[in-house]
Amino acid sequence: MIELTVNGIKRQVDVVAEMPLLWVLRDELGITSAKYGCGVAQCGACTVQIDGMAVRSCQAHIGEVAGKSVVTLEGLEKKEQHPVLQAWIEHQVPQCGYCQTGQIMQAISLLDLISQPTDEEINQVMSGNLCRCGTYPRIRAAIHAAAAKKMAEK
Amino acid sequence: MGHMQTLSRRAFVFGSAAVAGGIAFGAYGSAEAAVPSADGNPLAAGLGANSVTFNPWVEISPDKITLIAQHADIGQGVGSVQPIMIAEEMDLDPGQFEIRFAGPSPAYFNTGFADEFAPFVAADQSPAAEEARAATLEWLRKSGLQMTGGSSTIPDTYQKLRVAGAVARETLKAAAAKRSGVAVADLRTQSGHVVLPDGTRIAYGALAADAAKIPPVLDAQPRDPSKWRMLGKPMMRLDVREKVMGELKFGIDIKMDGMLYASVKLNPNKGQPLKSYDAGKARAMPGVKKILEIKNGVAVIATNSWYAMKAVDAIACEWAPSAYPSEQADHWKVLESSFKPEFLGKEWRKTGDIESALKTGKLVEAEYRAPYVAHQPLEPLNGVGLVTDKGMEIWVGHQSPRFVQWVASTAIGLKPEQVTFHNQWSGGSFGHRLEYENVRVLAEIANQMKGTPIKLVFSREEDFLQDIPRQIAIARHRGSIDKGKIVAADLQLASTTPLKGLLERSGTPSKDPDGQLAAGLWNVYYDIPNFRGTSYEAQGLSPSTTWRSVGASTSGFFTESFIDELIHAAGLDPLKARIAMCTVPHYRKVLETVAEMSDWNGPLGNGRGRGVAFVESFGTPAAEVVEVTATDRGIRVDKVWVAVDVGKVVDPVNFENQVQGGVIWGLGHAINCELTYAKGAVQQTNYNHHEAMRIYQCPVIEVRGLENDPKVRGVGEPPVPPAAPALANAIFAATGKRIREMPFNKFIDFV
């Protein structure tokens, strides 16, 4: 049994230590906002936070996550009022939406690091997140809007 | 089949391959003659007590209203705009209705294909063209072809869904009139209620039982667009919130009690069987429940998708060799030798005297190439299947519900009607979910695991290996310039056949020339007095299929690159010359609009360059200007301007998102994507080998939608074809280097 905290709740899973966190979340715990896209850290669709850091959950073996705190999009605090999620809705970013939960988790991490990112800084941090539908112009706009919202809240 | 004969006779009138749809789907129409016709309402069978359905799109019970999204939602917004077209007419607000995807039924035949399949270019609105389209439409009705594709989401449903909503509204009013004794003319509808003159409000649900007892008001008319509350205005897509909150369940997110997980390893020599395998190692791996042999590979059943993927990876397989050349170089050789009469697809259009015109003035010749490309939507192929003694249930995101039934049932010896299909929200498609690899394989697996729900998920690598690619093509174009004018263009291409391949795998093989090879080749609207467009169909190469914008994705690049070369050879300005040559007034307006948007003013200099391209595909004219800078690190794409005429912009925010996405799709794949075969398998198996565009390369994209076309057109695909040639033309303007083959990064670096 491996123990970890997911979205504030202690969970135990009976899987091999090499299993990526992604597949523990999806198939063992039924948490589906983290998506399988590539399995090799090329797409970012599986992005979650481990102890506050954005990571690709397809690359984190569950054995290494033992005892740590995982937050997926489902577990974000004040989710309904979250400035990044709000900006994503207002700008109607998604098309198919499959990559968007990962994009959002990455964008949250970006704004934690840089409160007012430039387009160049957005490019640097968000380029690991692939969107096959091509919503990049809206992702950019939503990140700028979320940054403004966060500033206004302060 | 009287209608077939009629259509065939018409077809001869219009040309030998006329009504490609009619002939192509002939076998299908005959085979399906026994099933319910397009006139039936599939919702009637499942209707509960005190409920009513007026047509295949509206269902009202005392406690809920359900609107049917007829097409598949592959990210293009079907699950929002189609219900809203109904809700607009019914005076329903978002939140007052549930949405369900259509099940398999001929009632949901796609009227939107009539224009694409009829043998006339889109701009031809002549009586003969309209008659052919009407004949094709009747044929589509008879065949019951239910398919999402060809940018038909809006064109297919713009009229019928608004009519469906209007019929529901007027019938509910008639029921309320009968109950209240008030004349229908004195009733109005608002926010899910019929409102009486005294202000009394009757909820639609409360009228359902009464409405079921009266005949539907079939002559109800949809409202004039000037009266629209939601359509045509910026509106919130209904699926956005759930997608952002991570709450929307895609096909891959389904979980059922007792469900087990499957993954597969299939013969990478596409279409060939398994010879033998050794699963010794896999059997002992964690989580593994069972190893199954299927027709073209092996499957592992496990307690978790990852266990299944790991174990299937450990199985050693021996495969039957490929039926196509095992090495990529030989694919090109076959194409090179396909420009011969025995491979002729069709001479699609011939005007003037091409041979003598080519001998007049200055001859320009060029050869262009486009590689195989993968679809690879981010949600990998998947599906949940359950086979019992009664039949099969399948939960999968797919664009052709009735073909899913046919493919799954054929794989395991059932009848199509024994397969119950539940369509799912899809994480993209781009043509991928018109194919059947996951469907057929899932049927085989579930059939060996009777009684247990099985969730199949392809690994990304397997998805790449099994992806039936976009057609590969070579174009050999010739033209001539005389006295500063283009006097001849002889466009020839050799290609694999995307639509023909798809039809064959759908159980409806066609011997007719592939009409998609005409797209972007014959619908050229420039005043060129001597013109010929000819397709050759290469034999024995990789199976190919429809990839976002299909034939036009390759021939749009060829044609518009070549037109650019001719214009430069004539010493003309690329955009001004296109405007001057354009023969269709409202298409000319599209070019003029993009000139105005980009403030087009001749060469930029200083390593900067602009290119333009114009392609009509699926009836929608799209013009794009791309601006690039040649930096010391390579080409940087700075900005794109796009003008598109769809007749009516129904969902403006989503329209812009679709157009921008189409441009990004077109640019990204032109820059860095190809699939190449080695030892019979594609060499690219994940996004690091086939990346397309990431955000750092994404330019600013300015979009304008025009509404001059006499018909309502689609926009999912048409922004794609002009992107690649506009970029290549811009690179030429910036560097003097003419790139005639995709992907461009084989010839020039990009930032």
- Dihedral, CA atoms, B50, B52, B58, B60, nearest 10 degrees? -20
**How high is the mean pLDDT of chain B?**
94
- Cβ–Cβ gap B253/A32 under 8 Å: yes
Q: Residue B611 carries which side chain, given as an amino acid letter? A: G
Dig out the tokens for B686 from the structure. 């994940």
Least confident segment among B16-30, B286-300, B560-574, B706-720: B16-30
Are the beta carbons of B701 and A137 closer than 8 angstroms?
yes
- H-run or E-run covering A87: helix A83-90
Dump pLDDT digits (tens) for A9-43: 999 999 999 999 999 999 999 999 999 999 999 99
What's the pLDDT band for B8 if we cut at 50, 70, 90? very low
What's the pLDDT band for A154 if we cut at 50, 70, 90? confident
Dump pLDDT digits (tens) for B683-739: 999 999 999 999 999 999 999 999 999 999 999 999 999 999 999 999 999 999 999
Which residues of chain B from 284 to 313 reach within 8 Å of chain A, CB to CB?
286-287, 303-307, 309
Task: For the full predicted model, state whether its pTM sits above 0.80.
Answer: yes
Dump pLDDT digits (tens) for B82-137: 999 999 999 999 999 999 999 999 999 999 999 999 999 999 999 999 999 999 99
Chain B residues in contact with A15 by the CB 8 A cut-off are 286-287, 304
The three-class DSSP label of residue B54 is strand
Residue with tokens 């209608």: B3
- Compute the distance between CA of residue B173 and CA of residue B187 in angstroms, rounded to an integer: 7
What's the pLDDT band for B5 if we cut at 50, 70, 90? very low
Q: Which of B303, B460, B695, B701 to probe by mutation at the A interface, max A CB count within 10 Å?
A: B695
- Cβ–Cβ gap B378/A98 under 8 Å: yes
- Compute the distance between CA of residue A102 and CA of residue A81 in angstroms, rounded to an integer: 18
Going by C-alpha positions, the residue among B259, B243, B604, B130 that lies closest to residue A131 is: B243
Beta strands in chain A (DSSP E): 2-6, 9-13, 47-50, 53-56, 69-71
Dump pLDDT digits (tens) for A44-94: 999 999 999 999 999 999 999 999 999 999 999 999 999 999 999 999 999
Chain B residues in contact with A30 by the CB 8 A cut-off are 255
- H-run or E-run covering B328: helix B328-336
Chain A residues in contact with B430 by the CB 8 A cut-off are 132
Dump pLDDT digits (tens) for B393-408: 999 999 999 999 999 9
- Compute the distance between CA of residue B203 and CA of residue B62 in angstroms, rounded to an integer: 9
The pLDDT score that the predictor gives to residue B190 is: 98
Q: What are phi and psi of B137, to 5 degrees?
A: -60, -45
The pLDDT score that the predictor gives to residue B597 is: 98
Between chain A and chain B, how many beta carbons pairs sit less than 8 Å apart? 173
Dump pLDDT digits (tens) for B664-676: 999 999 999 999 9
The pLDDT score that the predictor gives to residue B7 is: 33
- Cβ–Cβ gap B255/A30 under 8 Å: yes
Through-space distance between the first and last CA atoms of chain B, rounded to whole angstroms: 59
Does the beta carbon of B255 lie under 8 angstroms from any beta carbon of chain A?
Answer: yes
- Cβ–Cβ gap B427/A85 under 8 Å: no
The pLDDT score that the predictor gives to residue B445 is: 98
- Cβ–Cβ gap B687/A43 under 8 Å: yes
User: What 3 state SS string does B264-323 have?
Assistant: EEECCCCCCCEEEEECHHHHCCCCEEEEEEECCEEEEEECCHHHHHHHHHCCEEEECCCC
- Cβ–Cβ gap B75/A95 under 8 Å: yes
Mean pLDDT of B152-159: 97
Dump pLDDT digits (tens) for A99-136: 999 999 999 999 999 999 999 999 999 999 999 999 99
Mean pLDDT of B69-90: 98
What's the pLDDT band for B350 if we cut at 50, 70, 90? very high
Reported ipTM:
0.98
Are the beta carbons of B617 and B519 closer than 8 angstroms?
yes
Beta strands in B304-429 (DSSP E): 316-319, 344-351, 362-370, 382-387, 392-396, 419-423
Q: Residue B579 carries which side chain, given as an amino acid letter? A: I
The answer to whether residue B3 scores a pLDDT higher than 90 is no
The answer to whether residue B23 scores a pLDDT higher than 90 is no
The pLDDT score that the predictor gives to residue B24 is: 37
Show the DSSP H helices in B359-448 as ranges.
401-412, 437-448
Mean pLDDT of B511-524: 97
- Compute the distance between CA of residue A69 and CA of residue A75 in angstroms, rounded to an integer: 11
The pLDDT score that the predictor gives to residue B36 is: 57
Does the beta carbon of B258 lie under 8 angstroms from any beta carbon of chain A?
Answer: no
